[in-house]
């Protein structure tokens, strides 16, 4: 079999249904094979970065590996942002890149780039296939590595001569990787100690993250079950949203920089913290010296390098979230553990006090659409529907996290770790491919969406009824907010000047454009958007200078958060905070 045929066979054997790609000289033999066999669906994107984001959306919404195919040189370098995004957010991706033939590598040949060199720090692993005999093994290994342990992107760089060469095929089952063997089951004694600690806690909190999503829907189920068994409060990171239903009364909302007052205060005051599949990111912890100062910390993570990285914990447990939660629940039952009910009631009373601040409340406005309100209405109008949300990056992303409630995992796709503007539209495309009948909405900012707007053309080509719901504040709002708060209101280059008419843009790409400029128009526009089974772009003109609150200023701790504009004057960002991003 030719190398190209081997690749197609390996993709099929790995259960790949769709590949997001863009052709070029170095990968023509693979495209030829795609054409001849018609075995795997190919989605032709309009930019390689979008191919990776689409694969991410596909992967995150299905739990499968997302597959990308790009050419050498510029094809590969264009994919780098997407790969880095997938690495930061632990998304399983296999990205096949074309390469100049082996005998030309290193010669500055046409469209040559040192792809394995460039992508080494932004992939979980990468391969350069230099011998035909390795090709099948590498293909299978790539899928194994992408999906096992902490998921991530894997690049397979394919010199063109290998694609023509005669290669032997090996079955996936025959390929065994001896070096990379992630630990799935938690250490039993650590699990027991953790359960004892949880049972004895007076002010406990569960803090779940993206690892719950990575682990599969069962992890979310078990997490929720444990929360219910104990009756303890729970919070989630941006990446974990949906792991426990937003409507569950134990859920305190997201924590962190733009998390809720109650979640952050509960984190600050807790005596036992149970972190499952979250990585103590700086957006979450705030100033480390002020982070949960009196808490004993349990941390469950499949990646040992996440443990004791930013925060020293008392009981680290290496293992898969679902497996360890299952172990914990078994120990909890076997020991007949019972939480201290009096302490728990007291703790909830304190939490209810924080809740009563209603940190996400906003004053209704009849003249201008508030961004929070726009998202709230989108949430309310899509309730009960089979709905998936992606976002771009900025204020709208945070508002989406705050005002859109997710009751299930895998429904929320956002760029958390890298914060990549331009993620949302292509990610939505990938989600829609996986779930053709679902309602898929990209909650966007007017600046971000311009970063991958070309994908409207892809949406049209494949009749993907993705909705782009643009929270148009005419500013790079998140940048403007920081400039207001810590740079004296000097709005340097953060105005979205010369914006296109988004309705016309949508139409020019063969989709439908809608606009809402007054609160009274909002509901109708949302209804119409939902009804139209075509790509739709909605331009929602919102209040321009609205800031996103609550907020923990950089360098501050959980208990120093700002609730709203009234708070700002008193709590200025510290000098140490200024240097943080």
Partner 1 sequence: MNPTDMPIERHTIAVLVANEPGVLARVIGLFSGRGYNIESLTVSEVDEANARSRITVVTSGTPMVIEQIKAQLSRLVPVYDVHDLTLEGAHVSRELALVKIHNTGEDRIEALRIADTFRARAIDSTLQSFVFELTGDTGKINAFIDLMVALGDVEVSRTGVVAIARGTGLDMPLVRRNVTKRKRRQPVTGD
Ligand X SMILES: Cc1cc2nc3c(=O)[nH]c(=O)nc-3n(C[C@H](O)[C@H](O)[C@H](O)COP(=O)(O)OP(=O)(O)OC[C@H]3O[C@@H](n4cnc5c(N)ncnc54)[C@H](O)[C@@H]3O)c2cc1C
Ligand Y SMILES: Cc1ncc(C[n+]2csc(CCOP(=O)(O)OP(=O)(O)O)c2C)c(N)n1
Q: Is 150 left (phi over 0), alpha (psi -120 to 50) or beta?
A: beta
Span 486-505, contacts to partner 1 by CB under 8 A? none
Extended strands (E) in 437-565: 439-445, 467-472, 512-516, 536-541
Q: Please, which residue, 113 or 317, has the CB nearer to ligand X?
A: 317
Give the whole-angstrom CA distance, residue 433 versus residue 465: 10
178 binds partner 1 (CB under 8 A): yes
Report the distance separating Cα 431 and Cα 378, nearest Å. Answer: 18
From the number of C-beta atoms within 10 Å of its C-beta (0-12, 13-18, 19+), residue 192 rates as middle
Angle at CA of residue 82, ends 36 and 464, nearest 5° = 60
Alpha-carbon torsion, ordered 46, 52, 57, 61, to 10 deg: 140
Among 85, 89, 141, 546, binds ligand X (CB under 6 A): 89
Q: Are strands 536-541 and 467-472 parallel, antiparallel or unpaired?
A: parallel
HEC letters along 518-552: CHHHHHHHHHHHHHCCCCEEEEEEECCCCCCCCEC
- Which residue's CB is nearer to ligand X, number 257 or number 450? 257
Least distance in angstroms from the C-beta of 177 to partner 1: 8
137 binds, among ligand Y, ligand X, Mg ion, none (CB under 5 to 8 A by kind): none
What, of ligand X, ligand Y, Mg ion, none, does residue 420 touch, CB below 5 to 8 Å by kind?
A: ligand Y
- Given 88, 273, 328, 478, which residue is catalytic? 478
If one counts every other C-beta atom within 10 angstroms of the C-beta of residue 555, the result is 18
Task: Look up residue 135 and give its two tokens.
Answer: 């090709």
Q: Taking CB under 6 A as the rule, does residue 394 contact ligand Y?
A: yes
What is the contact mask toward ligand Y in residues 373 to 392, using x (rule: CB under 6 A)? -------------------x
- Given the residues 48, 112, 141, 546, the one annotated as active site: 48
Shortest reach from residue 380's CB to Mg ion, in Å:
23
Distances (CA, A) of 564 to 47, 545, 548: 40, 13, 8
- Residue from the set 9, 64, 150, 355 that interacts with partner 1 by CB under 8 A: 150
301 binds ligand X (CB under 6 A): yes
Q: Is 478 a catalytic residue?
A: yes
**Residue 288 contact among ligand X, Mg ion, partner 1, none, beta carbon within 5 to 8 Å by kind:** partner 1
- Known catalytic membership, residue 111: yes
The question of whether 474 is a catalytic residue gets the answer: no
| C-alpha span between 383 and 377 (Å, rounded) | 10
- CA neighbor of 397 nearest in space, from 459, 438, 449, 454: 449
- If one counts every other C-beta atom within 10 angstroms of the C-beta of residue 179, the result is 4
Active-site position among 36, 110, 335, 578: 110
- By rule CB under 6 A, what string of x and - marks binding of each residue 174-213 to ligand X? -----------------------------------xxx--
Task: Answer with the entry of ligand Y, Mg ion, partner 1, none that 308 interacts with (C-beta below 5 to 8 A by kind).
Answer: partner 1
**Minimum distance from residue 88 beta carbon to ligand X (Å):** 7
User: Is residue 139 part of the contact set for partner 1 (CB under 8 A)?
Assistant: no
Q: What per-residue string of b and e applies to 475-492 under the rule 16 or more CB within 10 Å gives b?
A: bbbbbbbbbbbeeeeeee
Determine, following the binding rule CB under 5 A, whether residue 477 of this chain makes contact with Mg ion: yes
Does residue 465 touch ligand X according to CB under 6 A?
A: no
Is there a contact between 331 and 192 (Cβ–Cβ < 8 Å)? yes
Task: Report the distance separating Cα 380 and Cα 568, nearest Å.
Answer: 31
- Which CB sits closer to partner 1, 295 or 538? 295
- Note whether 237 binds ligand X by CB under 6 A: yes
Cβ neighbours for 422, distance < 8 A, ≥ 6 positions apart: 49, 50, 53, 392, 448, 449, 451, 452
The separation between CA 306 and the C-alpha centre of its own chain, rounded to angstroms, equals 17
What is the β-pairing status of strands 153-159 and 125-128?
Answer: parallel
Per CB under 6 A, the list member of 82, 242, 277, 477 interacting with ligand Y is 477
Q: How many angstroms separate the most distant Cα atoms in the chain?
A: 74
Site for ligand X in 214-233 (CB under 6 A): 214-215
Based on the shown chain and the rule CB under 8 A, indicate whether residue 62 belongs to the binding site for partner 1: no
Does 110 participate in catalysis according to the annotation? yes
Main-chain phi, psi angles of 321, to 5 degrees: -55, -50
Residues in 105-134 that interact with partner 1 by CB under 8 A: 116-117, 120-121, 124-126, 128, 130
Q: Could you say which of 100, 146, 234, 238 contacts ligand X (CB under 6 A)?
A: 238
Our answer to whether residue 566 is catalytic in this structure is no
Residue 61's φ and ψ, nearest 5 degrees, are -90, -10
Using the structure block, give the residue that is written with the tokens 């005596």. Answer: 271
- Work out whether 539 is an interface residue with ligand Y (CB under 6 A): no
Please say which residue, 286 or 394, places its beta carbon nearer to ligand Y. 394
Q: What does the CA dihedral 304, 310, 315, 319 come to, rounded to 10 degrees?
A: -30
Residue 77, helix vs strand vs coil: helix
* SS3 assignment, position 78: helix
SS3 content of the chain, % helix, strand, coil (to 5): 45, 15, 40
176 binds partner 1 (CB under 8 A): no
Tokens read off for 537: 């772009």
Given 49, 61, 90, 432, the residue binding ligand X (CB under 6 A): 90
Q: Does 473 bind Mg ion (CB under 5 A)?
A: yes
Which position among 111, 183, 350, 474 bears the catalytic label?
111
Instruction: Examine residue 556 and tell whether it contacts ligand X (CB under 6 A).
Output: no
Site string for partner 1, 305-334 (x = CB under 8 A): x-xxx--x----------------------
| Choices 27-35, 42-50, 273-281, 572-580; region in contact with ligand X by CB under 6 A | 273-281
Is residue 430 within the footprint of Mg ion (CB under 5 A)? no
For position 371 contacting ligand X by CB under 6 A, the verdict is no
Q: Which is nearer to Mg ion, 476 or 530 (CB)?
A: 476
In the complex with ligand X, the residue whose CB is nearer, 32 or 282, is 282
- Does 421 contact ligand Y by CB under 6 A? yes
Residue 416 contacts ligand X per CB under 6 A: yes
Contact positions toward partner 1, by CB under 8 A? 116-117, 120-121, 124-126, 128, 130, 145, 149-150, 177-180, 288-289, 303-305, 307-309, 312
Contact positions toward Mg ion, by CB under 5 A? 445-446, 473, 477
Contact positions toward ligand Y, by CB under 6 A? 392-396, 419-421, 445-448, 471, 473, 475-479
Please list the active-site residues: 48, 110-111, 160, 478
């Amino acid at each position: 079999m030719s190398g190209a045929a081997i690749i197609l066979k390996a993709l099929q054997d790995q259960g790949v249904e769709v590949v997001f790609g863009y052709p070029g000289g170095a990968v023509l033999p693979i495209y030829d094979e795609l054409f001849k066999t018609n075995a795997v669906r190919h989605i032709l994107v309009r930019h390689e970065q979008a191919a990776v984001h689409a694969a991410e959306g596909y992967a995150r919404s299905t739990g499968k590996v997302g597959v990308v195919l790009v050419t050498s040189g510029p094809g590969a370098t264009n994919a780098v942002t997407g790969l880095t995004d997938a690495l930061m957010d632990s998304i399983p991706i296999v990205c096949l890149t074309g390469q100049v033939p082996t005998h030309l590598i290193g010669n500055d040949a046409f469209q040559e780039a040192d792809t394995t060199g460039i992508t080494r720090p932004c992939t979980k692993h990468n391969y350069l296939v230099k011998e035909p005999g390795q090709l099948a093994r590498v293909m299978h290994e790539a899928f194994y590595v992408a999906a096992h342990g902490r998921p991530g992107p894997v690049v397979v760089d394919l010199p063109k001569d290998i694609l023509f060469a005669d290669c032997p095929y090996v079955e996936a089952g025959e390929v065994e990787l001896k070096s990379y063997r992630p630990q799935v089951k938690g250490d039993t004694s650590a699990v027991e100690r953790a359960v004892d600690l949880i049972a004895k806690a007076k002010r406990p909190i569960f803090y779940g993250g993206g690892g719950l999503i990575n682990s599969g829907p069962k992890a979310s189920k078990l997490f929720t079950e444990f929360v219910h068994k104990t009756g303890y409060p729970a919070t989630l990171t941006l990446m974990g949203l949906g792991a426990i239903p937003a409507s569950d009364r134990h859920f305190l909302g997201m924590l962190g920089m733009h998390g809720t007052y109650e979640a952050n205060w509960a984190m600050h005051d807790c005596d036992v913290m149970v972190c499952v599949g979250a990585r103590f990111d700086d957006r979450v912890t705030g100033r480390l010296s002020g982070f949960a100062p009196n808490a004993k910390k349990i941390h469950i993570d499949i990646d040992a390098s996440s443990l004791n990285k930013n925060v020293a914990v008392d009981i680290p447990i290496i293992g898969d979230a679902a497996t360890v939660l299952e172990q914990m629940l078994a120990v909890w039952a076997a020991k007949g553990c019972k939480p201290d009910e009096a302490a728990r009631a007291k703790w909830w009373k304190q939490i209810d006090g924080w809740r009563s601040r209603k940190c996400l409340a906003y004053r209704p406005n009849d003249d201008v659409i508030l961004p929070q309100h726009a998202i709230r209405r989108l949430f309310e109008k899509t309730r009960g529907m089979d709905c998936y949300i992606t976002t771009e990056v900025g204020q709208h992303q945070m508002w989406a996290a705050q005002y859109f409630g997710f009751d299930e995992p895998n429904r929320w796709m956002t760029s958390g770790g890298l914060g990549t503007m331009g993620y949302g539209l292509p990610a939505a495309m990938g989600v829609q491919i996986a779930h053709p009948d679902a309602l898929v909405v990209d909650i966007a900012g007017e600046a971000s969406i311009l970063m991958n707007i070309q994908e409207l053309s892809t949406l049209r080509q494949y009749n993907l009824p993705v909705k782009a719901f643009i929270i148009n504040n005419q500013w790079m709002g998140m940048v403007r907010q920081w400039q207001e708060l810590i740079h004296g209101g000097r709005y340097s280059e953060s105005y979205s000047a010369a914006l296109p008419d988004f309705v016309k843009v949508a139409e020019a790409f063969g989709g439908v454009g809608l606009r809402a400029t007054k609160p009274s128009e909002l509901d109708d526009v949302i209804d119409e958007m939902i009804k139209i089974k075509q790509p739709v772009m909605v331009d929602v003109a919102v209040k321009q200078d609205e800031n996103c609150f609550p907020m923990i200023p950089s360098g501050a701790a959980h208990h120093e958060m700002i609730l709203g504009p009234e708070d700002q004057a008193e709590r200025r960002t510290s000098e140490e905070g200024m240097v943080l991003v």
